[in-house]
Structure 1
Amino acid sequence: MKLVFAGTPAVALPTLETLAVRHEIVSVITREDAPQGRKRVLTPSPVASRASELGIPTIRANRLDDVVTKQVADLQPDLGVIVAYGGLVRSPLLETPRLGWINLHFSLLPRWRGAAPVQWSIMSGDSEGGASVFQLVAALDAGPEFARVVRPIGAHETAGHLLEALSHEGAALTLKVVDELDAGTARSTPQQGEVTLAPKITLEHAHIDWHDDADVVFRRIRATTPEPGAFTIIDGLRLKVLQAAPAYDTAALRPGALNTDGGKVLIGTSTTPIELLRVHPAGKKPMSAADWWRGLAADQPHGADSPATDR
């Protein structure tokens, strides 16, 4: 079939590459080049870069407006496929492809409709995650579902790891649905179950509250890794927590208190402490928590029990 593919981040790449092997992608729609890094250099999205390598014409747009709609209509596609584009598809673009649009969404719909389903599933302590391919409609992630894949969420799994796994499983699932639509054998069913929402994760969501219990803190760290990155404030400076784990076999510390025990760098919560394993101090490179602690202790000889700043 002739496909239009809309996507922006790296998690959309496996689906783009998988579909390009079997079907004709007549155009890719992705968001405009964005400033990256400290020097704020304008950089193409991962999808834009890969489309260029594959020789696929690209439409760069942050809004799917009338201009984009006409560009798509001129291509006369059979189907639109969207994976994490970062914007809404509205009428009349919604109806422009002959078979409309399908969406690969990284949740088990209708649970976690919205921008950050993987992050919210981990933050909320879900035991399972997955991906759904559904027919795009005007309402948010509400269309009938063609297929899904389900997988357990590991006890130490981060959002980055889960998204990477689902991007590949979801690519195969999307290809299956596209092939069935091409053959006229695809069947969809209305979504069933309680609707929950997954709004965009902000920096505030990544700010650790040490008054939470250890399991809640640990889920927040995993859910916001690698982006935007869980953090706390110690002695007025931001400290990103790259890797950590509950220290169930250590004595309790008051929330936010910082200490060491047998070489472990610990911060107290309302229950068991959290062991810091790898951190990224402001203005420095990522390092082990032990190396960071030695530097902190050198600067503050009496800071063995200095508290992390409360949220």
Structure 2
Amino acid sequence: MRIVFAGTPEVALAPLEALLASRHDVVAVLTRPDAPAGRGKKLHPSPVAARAAELGLEVLTPRRPRDEDFLFRLSEIGPDCCPVVAYGALLPQRVLDIPARGFVNLHFSLLPAWRGAAPVQHAVIAGDAETGATTFQIVLELDAGPTYLRTAETIRPTDTSGDLLQRLSVSGADLLVRTLDGLEDGTLEATPQPAAGVTIAPKLEVEDARVDWTAPAEVVDRLIRGCTPAPGAWTTFRGERLKLGPVRAGDTTLAAGAMAVTRRAVQVGTGTGAVLLGTVQPAGAREMPAADWARGTAPGSADVLGT
């Protein structure tokens, strides 16, 4: 099939590479416009745009998918199908109607669970034992279209959302290629999603990633892992934000937010047992082991995280 691939972040690269190596013909990519990044906030192309440019593929970057110039160009290209992986914008019906076989999305959950922008993060935070990837036909209702194929993935006790997304990107790439193969061969039909079991996974904002030290240790652990690497879990220390990496179970009991510091470890109290901090990153500084940070800041008995 003649396809236009839609995707934006790094997690979309493995599916793009798989499609490039498949029997299908990737003729262009659709991605979000250049965005500011880094300390200088200079405009940079998305990972998908950068890879497409290396390959000499046409790159479509409409500000809005309903822009007339984009609609005209996509119609002119005439794709048979448009596979989508984390494109990052809702597609209007006029766009969905252009390819004969529609838009096929690779979504990182076992639909109908965790529809929305952050399915992997929410699965980790919720303590799910399993997640996965699903291919489905895009319709106007968010992630509600009929499904084609799915693959399951166990959530490991130490998985961050970044770890899980990396694995799902690889397994999902094969799933997406098999879906397009089946559509072209006529061997694959879409199945409506069940009405039961729908959960929603909205984008996580910075405030969602703030640690509540009165919560049980396992809840703190899941929140931090689910928010790693983005948006990044955090707390406050002496009134300033302190970014947190994944934690481990501690071996003591402390009041919520209170710290016990030794030469090699920093333990923090939660609503149940303490947790051992891993890496931390103070505002304006580099990431470092928690013990190194403590040596420089010398927390006292009056210092409580999160106040």
What TM-score do you get using the length of structure 1 for normalisation? 0.95
Partner of 2:233: 230
CA contact (8 A) 1:259 1:305 kept: no
Deviation at 1:7, TM superposition (A): 0.6
**Counterpart amino acid of residue 96 in structure 2:** L
Q: How many residues align?
A: 304
Residue deviations 1:254-273, cap 9 Å, x none? 11111125842011111011
Contact 2:214–2:271, Cα closer than 8 Å, also in 1 = yes
Alignment correspondent of 1:218: 221
The answer as to 2:303 corresponding to 1:306 is yes
Task: Kindly provide the amino acid, as one letter, of the partner of residue 13 in structure 2.
Answer: L
Counterpart position of 1:110 = 112
The separation in 1 between residues aligned to 2:264 and 2:60, in whole angstroms, is 53
Question: Partners in 1 of 2:90 and 2:63 — Cα distance?
Answer: 10
CA–CA distance in 2 between the matches of 1:251 and 1:159? 28
Which position in structure 2 is the counterpart of 1:246?
249
**Counterpart residue type for residue 157 of structure 2:** A
Kindly state the Cα deviation for residue 277 of structure 1 after the two structures are TM-superposed.
Answer: 1.6
> Taking structure 2 as the reference length, what is the TM-score of the superposition?
0.96
SS of 2:197 mapped into structure 1: coil
2:54 is matched with: 53
After TM superposition, the structure 1 = structure 2 runs for residues 1-311 of structure 1, keeping only pairs within 5 Å, are 1-22=1-22, 23-65=24-66, 66-192=68-194, 193-247=196-250, 250-260=251-261, 263-297=264-298, 303-304=300-301, 306-310=303-307
Which amino acid in 2 is paired with 1:294?
A: R
Deviation at 1:204, TM superposition (A): 0.7
Alpha-carbon separation, structure 1, partners of 2:189 and 2:139: 16
Deviation at 1:309, TM superposition (A): 2.6
Q: Which amino acid aligns with 1:28?
A: V
Structure 1 segments of 4+ aligned residues over 2 angstroms from their partners: 260-264
- Aligned AA (2:306): T
Q: Residue deviations 1:15-67, cap 9 Å, x none?
A: 11111122111211101101111111110000000011111100112310132
Q: Please report how far the alpha carbon of residue 222 of structure 1 lies from its aligned counterpart in structure 2 after TM superposition.
A: 0.2
1:259–1:306 CA contact under 8 A, matched in 2: no
- Segments of structure 2 that go 5 or more residues without pairing to the other structure are none
Secondary structure (helix, strand or coil) at the match of 1:92 reads helix
| Aligned-partner SS, 2:84 | strand
Q: What is the aligned-residue identity percentage?
A: 45
Q: 1:203/1:115 Cα in 2 relative to 1: closer, same or farther (>3 Å)?
A: same
Q: Secondary structure at the residue paired with 2:296?
A: helix
Q: Secondary structure at the residue paired with 1:14?
A: helix
Distance 1:99 1:309 in 2: 51
Question: Quick check: 2:213–2:306 contact (8 Å CA) kept in 1?
Answer: no
Contact 2:32 2:88 in 1 (8 A): yes
Shift of 1:2: 0.3
Tell me which amino acid in the other structure corresponds to 1:123. Answer: I
Could you say what secondary structure the match of 2:247 adopts?
strand
